[in-house]
Structure 1
Amino acid sequence: MSGHISPTSRGPARRVLREDVADAIRNSIMVGELRRGSRLDVSGLAADLDVSQLPVREALIALSGEGLVRTVPRRGYYVEELDPVDVLDHYEIYGKISGIAAARASREMTDEDIDALQALNDRMRAAEDPQVQEDLNNEIHGRINRVGASRRLRSVLLTLSHGMDVRFGVIIPGWQKNAANEHDAIIAALRVRNSETARAAMEHHLSVNGQRAVDALTEAGFFATADEDPKG
C-alpha cells in the first residue's frame, strides 16, 4: 500500500462502523493520502483505523459501488482511476436533487427556521476550525433537506452524500468563504419564498463546488494525465 490514513482522517476515538471506515478511506483517497492505482491493504487499513478487518472489507465493497475502489479477483482492492467528469457528475446530480429540496423548503420553512439557518451560516463564516466549518455546513444542508425533501429524496441524498464526505477545507482553497456566500444566496431565496431562485442557487452552489474540487484534485495530481498509463 502506498499510503496510510493520517490521524486527522480517523475522527474521534470510538467504535468505527462500516460507514465511519468508508468515510475515512474516502477522505484519504480524495485528498491524495491513498494514491490512485495503489493497492489497499485490508490489514494495514484496519491497523490504521484501530478496527477489525470486517468493517474495512465492508467499507471497501461500499466504496467500489461509488466507483472509488476497484476489486481485482484474487489480487485485492485498488484505488480506482477517476476522471474529472466522474466528480463533476456526482456534484451535478447531488445539486439537482438538493435543488428540488430547496425549492420545496422555500414553501415549508418558517421564518424562525430561516433565521436559524442564517445564524448557522454566520457561525460557519466565523469558524476557524475546519471540522467545525464542515459540521456547520452539513447542518445547514441537512436542515434544508429535512424540511424540503420527501423520504424518497432523503434516501437518495443520503446515498449521494457519502460520495461527498470530503474535507473541503483541506482540498479546496477558499472553500469556507465561498460556501458561506453561496449559502447567503440560498437563504435569501428561502426568505422571500422564491422556489425557483432557491432551486437555482442550490444547484449553482453544488455545481461550482464540484468544479472547485476538480481543480484542487487536478492540482494535487489526483487524476491521471494523458501521458500516464491509466492503470499505473
Structure 2
Amino acid sequence: MAESLRNGILTGEFKPGSRIDLGTVADEWGVSPLPVREALIALESEGLVKSYPRRGHYVQALQPEDIIDHYEIFGRVAGMAAARAAKSLSSEQIHELESINEAMRAGEDPREQEDFNFQFHKIINSTGSSRRLISVIRILSKTMSLRFSEIVPGWEQRATDEHDEILDALRQGDAEAARTAMEKHLSVNGVRAAEALQRVNFFPEV
C-alpha cells in the first residue's frame, strides 16, 4: 500500500499540496482504511506527506535536491556493500551477475528490465552487507523508489553500461573501484531522475 501511494506521489498522480483522503483511497483500492492509514504514516516519516490535526494528510512538495540527495546517500551505502562484495563474491555469483545484466540489456519489457536490475543489486547487497547495512539499504531502496524505465529515456542502456563498470571491479576483487562505480551509478541516476521530473514540471516553482 505504501509503495502504491509513494509511486502515485512520485509520478504526479497525487499533486504537491493536494489532500489524500483516506476513505476515498480505501474505497478506490478496495481495502479497509487501516492499511491506508499505516501507509500514510510511513510516507510521513519519509517526508512525502504531512498530516495536520483535523485536516488530514497532504502531499509535500519536493525539490530536485531531495531526489539528488537521496540517491547520493543511497550510493554511499550501496558502495560500502559493493566494496565488501568485491572480496567475497564467488565466481558463480559473478557469472550470475553477468547473465542478469546481459538479460537486462537484451530485454524489451521495461518492468522485466527493472526486475533484472533489482536482482543484480540484490546479489551484491546481500553478499556484501551486514544485517544492519541490509536494513538501511532496504529502507533507502523503498523510499523515493522511482520507476526509472518510465521517466528516464534510455535508462536501461545506461544502467547496464554502468553495471559493466561495477562488474569489472568485482571481477578484479578491487574493493575501492567497486565502491566508486556503485556510488557513481546511483548518484548519477538521482541526477537523471531529477532532470526528467523537472522536464515534466513535477517540481513546484520556488
Q: Could you say whether these structures have the same fold, taking a TM-score greater than 0.5 normalized by the shorter chain as the test?
A: yes
Asked if the contact 1:40–1:78 (Cα under 8 Å) also holds between the matched residues in 2, the reply is yes
Q: What secondary structure sits across from 2:16 in the alignment?
A: coil
Q: What secondary structure sits across from 1:107 in the alignment?
A: coil
Aligned to 2:115: 135
Distance apart, 1:160 and its partner CA: 1.1
Q: What secondary structure sits across from 2:185 in the alignment?
A: helix
Aligned to 2:90: 110
Q: Do structure 1's residue 158 and structure 2's residue 138 form an aligned pair?
A: yes
Deviation readout 1:17-49 (Å, 9 max, x if unpaired): xxxx11111111111111111111112222332
Aligned to 2:148: 168
Q: Which has the higher contact order (CA 8 A, sep 6+)?
A: 2
Distance apart, 1:155 and its partner CA: 0.7
TM-score of the two chains, using structure 1 as the length reference: 0.86
Structure 1, unpaired ranges of 5+: 1-20, 227-232
Asked if the contact 1:70–1:79 (Cα under 8 Å) also holds between the matched residues in 2, the reply is yes
Aligned to 2:71: 91
RMSD, aligned CA = 1.0
Identity %: 52
Q: Do structure 1's residue 54 and structure 2's residue 23 form an aligned pair?
A: no
Question: Structure 1 counterpart of 2:76, which letter?
Answer: K
TM-score of the two chains, using structure 2 as the length reference: 0.97
Say which is worse superposed, 64-73 or 163-172, in terms of deviation.
163-172
Q: Do structure 1's residue 79 and structure 2's residue 65 form an aligned pair?
A: no
Aligned length: 206
Question: Structure 2 counterpart of 1:113, which letter?
Answer: Q
Say which is worse superposed, 161-170 or 59-68, in terms of deviation.
161-170
Asked if the contact 2:10–2:144 (Cα under 8 Å) also holds between the matched residues in 1, the reply is no
Question: Structure 1 counterpart of 2:171, which letter?
Answer: R
Distance 1:163 1:208 in 2: 17
Runs of 4+ in 1 over 4 A off after TM superposition: none
